[in-house]
């Protein structure tokens, strides 16, 4: 009996863990989203072999997403438009969109609103 209850509790725990994993699964990184749309490493990286320390300049991003004004229009619906600010001008994409780690929002350092 005790063993059975323990078994049930254990399965409940497992179900809980699996659900949590589904709910809190990390959003894919910027590069993953691009690969999903059919692009490849070379869409961003120009070199034959992509080595540690590789960088991608903003010009590359803008060659597909630019000019900046177009980007500003895409996110015009936001209360605080990340792509348009009165402080820094046209910020490098990599300030917020990282190729292979989670995006961040540097405006949040000071602005609490979404």
Q: Tell me: does residue 72 bind ligand HEC (CB under 6 A).
A: no
Q: Tell me: does residue 73 bind ligand HEC (CB under 6 A).
A: no
What DSSP assignment string belongs to 31-79?
HHHHHHTT--HHHH--SSS--TT----HHHHHHHH-SHHHHHHHTTTSS
Among 2, 3, 24, 55, binds ligand HEC (CB under 6 A): 55
Site for ligand HEC in 8-27 (CB under 6 A): none
Where residue 53 falls (left for φ over 0; alpha for ψ -120 to 50; beta otherwise) is left
Q: Tell me: does residue 102 bind ligand HEC (CB under 6 A).
A: no
| SS3 call for 20 | helix
Q: Tell me: does residue 97 bind ligand HEC (CB under 6 A).
A: yes
Interface region with ligand HEC, contact rule CB under 6 A, candidates 1-9, 10-18, 57-65:
57-65
């Amino acid at each position: 009996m005790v063993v059975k209850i323990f078994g049930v509790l254990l399965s409940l725990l497992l179900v809980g863990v699996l659900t949590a994993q589904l709910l809190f699964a990390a959003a894919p990184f910027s590069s993953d989203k691009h690969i999903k749309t059919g692009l490849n490493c070379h869409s961003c990286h120009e070199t034959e072999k992509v080595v540690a320390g590789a960088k991608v300049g903003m010009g590359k991003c803008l060659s597909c997403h630019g000019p900046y004004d177009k980007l500003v229009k895409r996110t015009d619906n936001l209360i605080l438009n990340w792509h348009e600010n009165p402080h820094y001008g046209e910020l490098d994409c990599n300030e917020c969109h990282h190729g292979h780690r989670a995006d961040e929002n540097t405006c949040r350092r000071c602005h609490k609103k979404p």
